[in-house]
Amino acid sequence: MAIRRLLPGVLALCLGALLARGLALSLGVNNLLLAIALGVVVTNVVGVPARLESGIATHKLWLGAGIVLMGASISVGTVLEVGGRVFLVVIAVATLTLIVVELLARNVFGLAERLGSLLAAGASICGVSAVVAVAGAVSAREEQVAYAAATVLLFDAITIAVYPIVGDLLALPSTVFGIWAGVSMFSTGPVVAVGFAHSEVAGQWATMTKLSRNALIGVVVLAYASYYARSGDGDTPSVRTLWAEFPKFVVGFLALAAVSSLGVFSTAQQASIEHAYNWLFLLAFVGLGTEIQLGELRRTGVMPAFVVLLSLLVASSLSLALLLVLF
């Protein structure tokens, strides 16, 4: 049975979450970042047994569920008040990142077209998910997908460590830090982790900003599919394919936020929901940590990593300067 196959890995995630929570309370550190660290240590020092792999892979499901539940604590009025400015920043930074990666990859470092496109999609939209989505639309080779995914994961690991330090050194306000993480970091899990590591408000803004950025995945996939189809090297994706790649938890998050804005949930119920999604995030981040395999990251090529590093420095510095002016 599927449940019996998944149960050992899910129990391992639960034990990791409990351990992270207990250690965080004892050491006075953030429990979400500690959960990721535990996953990294386990996968790189001990290794994940094969019988646990399928259950641990459910960490993406727990992350999505936590994000959906977080919608109950979001004030739609606040989102509408500043949401327009945030969405404009999201579009501007995503577009800038994509263009910078494409230009550097093709014109400066001479990378293959498809590899450059995969790196651009991963850096500008939603990490490995965007790499996989665009790869299917442009008929990229498997080794190119693996190369781009490894590069994105490398910077996920780096930004998880660096962004909280920068936020503390610059004493960034919660709203600014959250939006900054949401527009410039790559994957959803690390964004949520560093956001909530800063503060509850930063975590909410980081998540909302990242979700709006994730929603652009369909546009990017269509744009790349059209470009490569015109050159005779790609396939136009169907509506079913686009929906399959679209992050469904965005819809759930918005629906629950709308319901919550109607005053359906009491203060006690909202507190319970917040407690629930905090535990779901702990489960998710233990699993996320197991995906950061240092051996794989060491094998990432220098040139793709350098291209992405330059684009990240440009996008993160410009977006932070812009956000400090706007907010």
pLDDT average, residue stretch 88-113:
93
* b/e per residue 221-251 (b: at least 16 CB within 10 A): bebbbeebbeeeebeebeeebbeebbbebbe
Q: Is the pLDDT score of 266 beyond 80?
A: yes
CA nearest neighbour of 218 among 240, 189, 186: 240
Residues 6+ apart with CB under 8 A from 112: 144
**142-158: average pLDDT:** 84
C-alpha 155/C-alpha 97 separation (Å) is 14
User: What span, in angstroms and rounded, lies between the C-alpha atoms of 139 and 97?
Assistant: 22
Q: pLDDT band at 209, cuts 50/70/90?
A: very high
| Pairwise CA distance, residues 120 & 307, whole Å | 9
Q: Which amino acid is at 260?
A: S
Q: What is the dihedral of CA 98, 99, 105, 108, to 10 degrees?
A: -150
- pLDDT tens for 162-182 read 999 999 999 999 999 999 999
Residue 20, C-beta contacts closer than 8 angstroms, at least 6 positions apart:
31, 32, 34, 35, 38, 282, 285, 286
**Residue-averaged pLDDT of the chain:** 85
Most confident of 64-78, 171-185, 253-267: 171-185
Q: What is the pLDDT of residue 238?
A: 62
Of 48-52, 154-158, 160-164, 236-240, give the lowest mean pLDDT range: 236-240
**Residue whose token pair is 């959803």:** 188
Provide the whole-model pTM.
Answer: 0.79
